[in-house]
A = this chain, B = another copy of it.
Amino acid sequence: MSQAAKTPRASSADAAILQVLRPELRHLTSKQIHTAVRKQLPAISLVTVYRSLERLARAGQVSISDMGTGAVVYARVTESLHHHLICQDCGGIVTIEHAEVGRWFAALSRRHGFKVTTNHLVLFGLCAGCQATHR
């Protein structure tokens, strides 16, 4: 609710990081997050950012994914999950909504009794254009 004025901003690189990741569909690297969050917490170390992100990921508030850019990217997890198809040829990124992924996860759950929690799936492959070129 409101930013209660009773407890000082105690334990929270977490809050600052969630703030930085606020805009949806924003995928930032640890370094980018570190830089951005320093505006709020000038003295925060990169290690703390890593540990905070790990904590947030365990709590299901942040996703951690390797999108093939050399460094892992972090994103805020919201009600409306999304996933990606990344072309290994042109680097093109297709974003798909959770619905069609969730349906499949549900099927897996029925078949294997396993509840998938992966909240930001990244699949690599070839986009339509590159498939043609590849022929």
- Tally chain A residues at the interface, Cβ within 8 Å: 27
A117 touches B126 (CB 8 A): yes
For this chain, the copies found in one complex come to 2
A115: which of B104, B117, B131 is its contact (CB, 8 Å)?
Answer: B131
> What residues of chain B lie closer than 8 Å to A87, measured between beta carbons?
114
SS class, residues of chain A in contact with chain B = mixed
> What residues of chain B lie closer than 8 Å to A123, measured between beta carbons?
105, 108, 116, 118, 121
A124: which of B88, B107, B112, B117 is its contact (CB, 8 Å)?
Answer: B117
Residues of chain A touching chain B, judged by Cβ–Cβ distance below 8 Å, are 66, 85, 87-88, 94, 96, 100, 104-105, 107-108, 111-118, 121, 123-128, 131
